[in-house]
Amino acid sequence: MNKPVIDGLPRNIIVFLVISHLVVVFPHFSTHSFWVLSLVSLCLVWRIGSSRRNWPLPTKGVRFVLVVLGFAAVYRAYGTVIGPLAGVALLILAYTFKLLEAKSKRDAYTVVTLSYFVVATAFLFDQAFSKALYLLFSCVVISAALISINQPSLQWKHHYKNAVLLVLKSLPIMVILFLFVPRVESFWSIQFDNHQAKVGLSDEMSPGDIARLGENDSVAFRAKFEKEPPPPADRYWRAMVLEDFDGKRWRRRDGRQSWGPLLQSDQDAAKEFWTAYKTWFSLNKTRQQGNYYRYDVVMEPSDKPWLFALDWAKPLTGGIDMKNGFALNAEKPIREPFVYKVESLDLTGVRQAPNWMSREFRRDINLQLPTSGNKRARQWALELREKAGSDKAFIAQVLSHFREKPFYYTLKPPLLGKDSVDQFLFSTRRGFCAHYASTFTFLARSAGIPARVVTGYQGGEQSSLDNYLLVYQFDAHAWSEVWLPEQGWVRVDPTAAVSPTRIEKGIENALGSSSSFLAQRPLSLLRYRDVPALSRLRHSMDYLRMLWIQKVVGYDGDLQTDLFRKLFGSSDLKTVVFVLVGSLIGAILLIFLVELYANRPPRASPEQRIYLRFCRKLSKRGYEKGFCEGETAFAQRVSSSSPELAEHVLRITALYIQIKYRPAGLVKNGNNLLVRDLRKQVRRLSV
């Protein structure tokens, strides 16, 4: 038979360990599966039961079963027992099992070490500022558990106080390690699958898609401008261009899954196009054509590769491509907050379409229409084109049609059937930007004008803190571009015709006080934009997050090299090691000095300082006052062996004793007089 296992750990240590376990595992609750978590909870309940109600701890056989169950639960959840997610799940299980079987101080130390490690793994999945704060808090809780193992007799308040002090003292070291430890790129480039679905634009658009984003109040990205941001009506953030229409959906031209080169068949042409674009851009820039903007975009993870920029954009950060339709694309889907620098030229007024652009322009693609369907709309467009006489006049007439007929801008449009364009144009007449953009592009193509749909964001809230714009998911927008031979691509936003407020003042004003905006999110701070204090709070919170993304999460090998160059003039290995070791020693020394200062002896009183001077004088004669020797005894020792000093030394000692040990005199400032006398006497003493 198995012998019952005896629990040798004091109860209060168990309490501390269980609390730190809960705190450490809490951030993993959302990521891990039900089976793993129930196994963890079972072990915790067992542990608490054994320390409170003297339940027996698991025997060897039971522990074996638990380990097998653990592996099974992880395999069931992730289909594997390797890889980041499964690995972390196994680590958490191992940590829990160790806590369950801990019965000696040594085990408790192991548990504490493991919990520090589990804390670090939480960073693999989420690197938000709030998470960092929480992990710092976890470190305090774990350190308190560690202190409780070493000093079990103290009260819990002392444990936590000491733990806070300990963590605070370690902060400078943390900062130094963060700044100066070389970044090992290969290790951190492991791909961590984020199972959380990200919101954002997709590379397809059917009427109603973007309306769904209209309910979402999370930040899509922020743009920090070096100077003034553009006026609201010009804030068109291009994300991608959709050119294929199948009667219902608009798709990207180069395939649904594609973020390959511009012209997949022709690498040289892509390069040529790219060079031509850059030359054209810098030419316009030097000629000071249009409005020039330079800004950093701090983007939230979207799980998609497309980036956002004002027209016409040129990326200043490496690893960004320009894709079909002058949209910016990253090499990989954006899974972590991402920062990039862009410059843009708003050339709305410029007439001439450059030659290279005309050459790239492919008329057939931008006239493509499904072979059948929406007959009424096609017919209507053709007739209107004929009546209008020119492309420009046609566009103007379509827009005024939208403006004058009872079209409405709404987040809740009625569902459309088979001939969606016909239905929208002639009967429902209620829609969101996607409806208008889609319908307008369809009409233009039907009339023989090359046109396409552009999606992205429109607008952005100016932050009260800095020159930066906050662009939310509900700012998602779709508009059209038409090709006019003398001007090139020209932006036409039919939504502006229906609801000018949407473009000028943002969606929340366009929807008016009907309160349908963010109706499902009563707690969203965005609903209370009118309250300046709340707005400032919201902006400050986002600013903090932006700084965090820019300065901490975005701090990579390149920025580190820059920092080293700026601070130390070089970034070779020798400098790095020297700086790292040097600053660590400096920080430890600093912490030590602070400790020393905090525990310094109280400041000496004036008479004590004078007496010390007196002692120093006598020490020149070889008389050292022992620290256990009284003043009188010392004076007598001195005067008996150096009688010539006796009178003076005894007088000084008598004075000092009078100040130090006698009751304070009745005379006001009596002591001050004595101190003055003492100082004079000590000054006169010559040895």
Partner 1 sequence: MITRAIEEASKVILGKDHQIRLAMVCLLARGNLLIEDLPGMGKTTLSQVLAQVFGLSYKRIQFTSDLLPADILGVSVFDKDSGDFTFKAGPIFAQLILADEINRASPKTQSALLEAMEERQVTVEGNTRSLPELFFVIATQNPSSQMGTYPLPESQLDRFLMRIHLGYPPAEAEKIMLMGGQGAVSAKDINTIIGPSDLAQLQSQVAQVHLSEAVVDYILRLVHFTRQRGHFLCGVSPRGSSALARSAQAWALIDGRDFVLPEDVQAVLPAVMDHRVQISSAQFGRSNDKASELLLSRVSIAG
Name the site residues for partner 1 (rule: CB under 8 A): 601-602, 608, 627-633, 657, 660-663
Please tell me which residue in 32, 159, 477, 539 is annotated as part of the active site. Answer: 477
Tell me how far, at minimum, the Cβ of 681 lies from partner 1, in Å.
19
Which residue's CB is nearer to partner 1, number 79 or number 602?
602
* Whether the Cβ atoms of residue 309 and residue 342 lie closer than 8 Å to each other: yes
* Distance of closest approach, residue 115 Cβ to partner 1, in angstroms: 32
Question: Smallest distance from the beta carbon of 658 to partner 1, in angstroms?
Answer: 8
In the complex with partner 1, which residue's Cβ is closer, 485 or 630?
A: 630
CB atoms inside a 10 Å sphere around CB 603: 7
Nearest-approach distance from CB 629 to partner 1, in angstroms: 7
By C-beta, is 199 or 657 nearer to partner 1?
A: 657
Distance from C-alpha of 172 to C-alpha of 180, rounded to nearest angstrom: 12
CB 142 within 8 A of CB 24: yes
> CA of 330: how far to CAs of 299, 335, 503, 590, 658, in Å?
12, 11, 28, 44, 83
- For 355, other C-beta atoms within 10 Å of its C-beta total 10
User: Considering the complex, what minimum distance in angstroms separates the CB of residue 654 from partner 1?
Assistant: 11
Residue in 133, 148, 127 with CA at minimum distance from that of residue 20 = 148
Nearer to partner 1 by Cβ, of 547 and 633: the residue is 633
**Angle at the Cα of 125 (from 211 to 43), degrees rounded to 5?**
115
Q: Which is nearer to partner 1, 582 or 665 (CB)?
A: 665
CA dihedral 242, 245, 251, 257 (to 10 degrees): -130
Residue 582 CB: number of other CB atoms within 10 A?
A: 12
- Token readout for 466 is 């800095």
Compute how many other C-beta atoms are within 10 angstroms of the C-beta atom of residue 362: 13
Between strands 468-472 and 461-462, the pairing is: antiparallel
Which listed residue (475, 493, 542, 648) is catalytic? 493
Give the shortest CB-613-to-partner 1 separation in angstroms: 14
Handedness of CA 322, 324, 327, 330 (dihedral sign): negative
**Nearer to partner 1 (CB atom), residue 370 or residue 630:** 630
Rg (CA), the chain: 37
Q: How far apart are CA 540 and CA 533, in angstroms?
A: 10
- CB-facing half-sphere around the CA of 266: CA atoms within 13 A: 9
Catalytic residue list contains 477? yes
* H or E element in which residue 236 lies: strand 236-245
Left (φ > 0), alpha (ψ -120 to 50) or beta: where does 247 sit? left
DSSP 5: B
- The distance of closest approach from Cβ of residue 127 to partner 1 in the complex, given in angstroms and rounded to an integer, is 47
The distance of closest approach from Cβ of residue 632 to partner 1 in the complex, given in angstroms and rounded to an integer, is 5
Minimum CB separation of residue 653 from partner 1 in Å reads: 10
- Out of 139, 433, 539, 542, the active site residue is 433
Structure tokens at 364: 């057939």
Distance CA 176, CA 228 (A): 36
- For the CB of residue 640, give the shortest distance to partner 1 in the complex, in Å: 15
> Among the residues of 82-222, which ranges form H helices?
84-101, 105-121, 129-150, 156-180, 185-188, 209-213
Query: Packing angle between helix 105-121 and helix 84-101, nearest 10 degrees?
Result: 160
CA separation for the pair 430, 369 (Å, rounded): 23
* Nearest CB to partner 1, comparing residues 128 and 154: 154
Q: Which is nearer to partner 1, 291 or 632 (CB)?
A: 632
Query: How is the chain split among helix, strand and coil, in percent rounded to 5?
Result: 55, 15, 30
Q: For residue 668, what is the DSSP state? A: T
Contact residues for 348 (Cβ-Cβ < 8 A; gap 6+): 234, 290, 491
CB of 628 to partner 1, least distance (A): 6
648 among known catalytic residues: no
Q: Between 369 and 657, whose beta carbon lies closer to partner 1?
A: 657
Residue 597 or 627: which CB sits closer to partner 1? 627
Distance of alpha carbon 483 from alpha carbon 161, whole angstroms: 69
- Which amino acid is it at 507? I
Kindly report the length of the chain. Answer: 687
Whether 18 and 133 have beta carbons less than 8 Å apart is answered as: no
Q: Between residues 343 and 631, which has the closer beta carbon with respect to partner 1? A: 631
In terms of Cβ atoms closer than 10 Å to its own Cβ (0-12, 13-18, 19+), residue 666 is exposed
The answer to whether the CB of 317 falls within 8 A of the CB of 556 is no
433 catalytically annotated: yes
What angle, rounded to 10 degrees, do the helices at 643-661 and 631-641 form?
Answer: 170
- Tokens 């979402």 locate to 216
Residues 476 and 25: their CA atoms lie apart, in Å, by: 37
Least distance to partner 1, CB of residue 609, Å: 12
- 523/628 with CB nearer partner 1: 628
Active site residues: 433, 477, 493
